[in-house]
Every structure is written in C-alpha cells, then in structure tokens.
A = this chain, B = another copy of it.
Amino acid sequence: MSEKKVIKVGVIGAGRIGKIHAESLATRVPGAVVAAIADVNLAAAQDLADKLHIPRVYADYREIMQDPSIDAVAICSSTNTHADLIIEAAAAGKHIFCEKPVDHSLVKIDKAIEAVKKAGVKCQIGFNRRFDSNFKKLRDLVKEGKIGDLHILRITSRDPAPPPAEYIKSSGGMFLDMTIHDFDMARYLAGSEVEEVYAIGGVMVDPAIGAAGDIDTAVITLKFTNGAIGTIDNSRQAAYGYDQRAEVFGSGGMAATANNTPNTCVYSNADGVHSEKPLYFFLERYMDSFVAEMREFITAIREDTVNPVTVEDGRKPVVIAMAAKRSMEENRPVKLSEIK
C-alpha cells in the first residue's frame, strides 16, 4: 500500500460534522490528507486548518472544485446544497463524500445520481451507522448465513432530546430527518429492498413539534422483497438517552445489539443494581463510525473498488420516508412503487 497515491481531500463546510470529518481525515485515516478547507465562515475554517495543519483555507468552496491537485471532496455543508455540490464536484472529476440526506427532492437526487454516473467518480453518502461495530456485526452474521433466512428485523432508534421546533420546520419531517438512518439500516441489515411501508405515529413528546406539523413518535412496519418483515420504533425523546438497537431474526438464529455505555461498571447497593445510561448522543455514540466510513471512502478511491454506500443508496431511504409519510397520512400500507 505504501506505493499507493495519497488522496488529497478538500473539505467543504467547517461546522460540526465538517470538523469531525476533517479531523478524521487529517489524523486517523491512512492514505489521506486534508489539502484544503472551505467555509463561508472563514474564521471557522482557519481555526480548523491551524489545528490540523491544513495548508489551504477558502471562504469559497469553488476554489476547491477548481484545484486540480484535489482528488476528492467531503461535502459537509447544509442539506439544501448537497445535490448541487455533488453535481459540481462530479463535473470537476472529484470523488465525493456527501453527508446524508442527499436531498429532500427525488428530482434533485436523480440529477445528482446522473452527474455521478456520467463523471464516473465515486460518491459515498454518509450513512455512518453502517460502519458502527455493533450494526456491522449484525450485518456480517446475516451475510455469513448465521441468521439463516431472515424473517423479522427490529430497529429501535430514539433520541435523547428533540431538536428545537425551529429546526423541525425545515427538517423535512421526522421520517426524512431521523428515521432516514433507520430506513438505511433496515436495507443494510436485510440485504433486501423495502417493498411496502405502514407507519403510524403521533405527537407524544412535545406539542410544539405537532404545531410545527411534524410527529415525534412512530412505529413503522416494512415488507421486504425477500419476504422478511421489519419494524422500526422511533421517539424524539428517551428519558434515559440515546437508544440505538437492532435485532435480526431468522431460521438459523437471532442476533441483537445493546447500547454502548461510557463504562461497564455495575454498582449494587440497598436500592438495586445500577449501570450507566447509553452514550449521550450521536457524536459520542458514533464517533468511531465516522472515522471508519472515511477510511472506507479513501480505500475505495485508492483501490478503485465500489464504495460501501453509493449515491443510489442515498436515494432509496428518501423514497421509503416518503412512503412512510403517505402511509401515516392515509392510514394504509403504501407500496414504494406508488412514490414517483
């Protein structure tokens, strides 16, 4: 591997997730360097550059697109820019890592897919949970046949606290904003496509979420083309913190994951037996998976292999989310083929 080219990455966006990816690429991903960082907030970009020895810093991401020495971009800007930036990067011949979701519009997603296909570049979408060691183990067991034929799939995904009602309004709704990860996880674990969705939900956590036109609690049933049945339950607020579990059940056996905790200590006293709550939220819980997805992105470029989450994989959960929304509105199961 020592002869392989070092991949020069330009990071677009120096916000929360941009920082995470820049730091991973700079310090924990072999074969990658961060060659440039861009953010309209130039000071934020400069701070990160200083800390991580990033040589070039821009207010305008187009300088990255135009730099012929840059091999790849990491798109960490706001959701509404994703599709356009994918199209621009593809046109510039850059490999692309893009945060999820690609977009809320299938039309825009399809344009991005088209651009990527035409340019022949790699485009990996940031469904980081696939790289989490718990869920990866479930997937491995399914792939290795240890579960046999998959019959039932269960995902529990509950946040520790709801986002501000302000955020809710532009989020696209819970299915597109939060459950999108679970829809991707369902496809990933099952190794099969979703065919039909039935969703029910309600406002149980915060009336302000309902006032913003969204729900905060849901149970979704999925029919897969391979015959398996899936169920996802979501809440915007679990009193005990971030609850992220999954279970696969089939003819050969069952596998389930538990939450990760800050330590394994169990304390027993006169009141009972006590252990730690789950790691607080996605930054704590999924940090290793953010590093792992970047490693695989860089490896796929260096070894010219198919990357593990394609831009098509970015489209499918959006379709499932749309079907779930319609199902809930019309109180009936909705086939994915109904979504245009």
**A interface vs B, CB < 8 Å?**
23, 26-28, 53, 133-134, 136-138, 141, 146, 148-149, 151-152, 154, 156, 158, 198, 200-202, 204-205, 217-219, 221, 223, 227, 229-231, 233, 235, 237-240, 243, 249, 251-270, 272-277, 331-333
List B contacts of A200 (CB < 8 A): 198, 221, 223, 229, 333
Q: Is the CB of B268 within 8 A of A240?
A: yes
Which residue of B has the minimal Cβ distance to A253?
B269
Q: Is the CB of A273 within 8 A of B240?
A: yes
**Bound-state Cα–Cα, A231 to B26, Å:** 45
**Bound-state Cα–Cα, A138 to B200, Å:** 24
Do A133 and B263 form a contact, CB below 8 Å, given A198-B198, A277-B273? Answer: yes
List B contacts of A219 (CB < 8 A): 152, 221, 229-231
**Bound-state Cα–Cα, A303 to B301, Å:** 44
**A132: min CB distance to chain B, Å:** 8
Selected contact of A229 from candidates B23, B202, B268, CB within 8 Å: B202
**A196: min CB distance to chain B, Å:** 8
List B contacts of A201 (CB < 8 A): 229
Q: Is the CB of B270 within 8 A of A254?
A: no
**Bound-state Cα–Cα, A202 to B23, Å:** 48
**Bound-state Cα–Cα, A156 to B233, Å:** 14
Q: Is the CB of B227 within 8 A of A254?
A: no
Do A265 and B274 form a contact, CB below 8 Å, given A198-B198, A221-B219, A229-B202? Answer: no
Which residue of B has the minimal Cβ distance to A136?
B263
List 10 A-B pairs, Cβ < 8 Å. A137-B276, A146-B267, A198-B200, A198-B221, A204-B227, A239-B268, A240-B253, A258-B266, A259-B264, A332-B333
Q: Is the CB of B274 within 8 A of A272?
A: yes
Count copies of this chain in the complex. Answer: 4
Tell me which of A136, A149, A275 has the highest count of chain B C-beta atoms within 10 A of its own C-beta: A275
Q: Is the CB of B204 within 8 A of A251?
A: yes
Selected contact of A253 from candidates B152, B223, B239, B255, CB within 8 Å: B239
Q: Is the CB of B272 within 8 A of A138?
A: no
**Bound-state Cα–Cα, A187 to B267, Å:** 20
Q: Is the CB of B251 within 8 A of A256?
A: no
List B contacts of A255 (CB < 8 A): 265-268
Q: Is the CB of B277 within 8 A of A254?
A: no
Do A134 and B263 form a contact, CB below 8 Å, given A217-B229, A274-B274? Answer: yes
List B contacts of A254 (CB < 8 A): 238-240, 243, 267-269
Which residue of B has the minimal Cβ distance to A52?
B27
List B contacts of A276 (CB < 8 A): 137, 272-273
**Bound-state Cα–Cα, A269 to B53, Å:** 43
Which residue of B has the minimal Cβ distance to A258?
B264
Q: Is the CB of B267 within 8 A of A141?
A: yes
Q: Is the CB of B275 within 8 A of A272?
A: yes
List B contacts of A134 (CB < 8 A): 263-265
List B contacts of A151 (CB < 8 A): 204-205, 217, 235
Q: Is the CB of B331 within 8 A of A233?
A: no
Given contact pairs A146-B267, A233-B249, enumerate 14 new A-B contacts (beta carbons under 8 Å). A134-B265, A141-B265, A148-B239, A154-B154, A154-B156, A198-B200, A198-B333, A204-B251, A221-B221, A239-B252, A240-B270, A253-B269, A255-B267, A272-B277
